[in-house]
Amino acid sequence: MMNFKNILTYLIVPFLIISCWPKELEETGMIVINNGLDKNVQMRFFRNSIPSGPEIVSKTGKGEIFRGEDTSTLVVINQILQADSIALIFDNERIETHFLHTVAPEGHSLFSNDSYIHEGNKSTYTIDAKNYINATPCNGPCY
């Protein structure tokens, strides 16, 4: 029969080993958002209707517009984006807003895991014609 000291050793030592795991050895989940259009696209990030995270990033023409990562075994999109809504603004003429809690726009939301292409721990979303067509015209400047 094991004594109390041995039981504690078997419980505490593994806990200490796990809790002291070097952060650089953990897997990193990453998301990349690409502009797939030849237009200027701005991304504005909001949390509770207040600008959050990187606030505004933009890209004219095709290419990477945003890259974010988090130490995690899974990509948690809203944690990396640090937002609960994101506005995509096209050439300061059209706007499409993505919402965390309603996963809108349906079928290609920035907050929906299904809208990304997943390769290992990297998830990629490409802003494309669907986004532009879904965007509504702004009456004046979009923001």
Report if residue 121 sits inside a domain: yes
Structure token digits, residue 79: 């944690």
pLDDT confidence of residue 138: 93
Report if residue 31 sits inside a domain: yes
pLDDT tens-place values along the chain, 143 residues long = 556 555 545 555 555 455 554 444 456 788 899 999 999 999 998 888 888 766 688 889 999 998 888 765 555 676 777 788 889 999 999 999 998 888 767 778 888 888 999 998 889 999 999 999 999 999 887 87
Report if residue 32 sits inside a domain: yes
**What letter would DSSP give residue 91?**
T
What is the spatial distance between Cα 58 and Cα 43, in angstroms, rounded to a whole number?
6
Report if residue 103 sits inside a domain: yes
By three-state DSSP, how is residue 125 classified?
strand
Q: Is the peptide bond between 22 and the residue preceding it cis, with omega within 30 degrees of 0?
A: no
Report if residue 89 sits inside a domain: yes
Number of CB atoms found within 10 A of residue 134's CB: 17
62: domain range? Answer: 23-137
Report if residue 12 sits inside a domain: no
Report if residue 54 sits inside a domain: yes
Report if residue 17 sits inside a domain: no
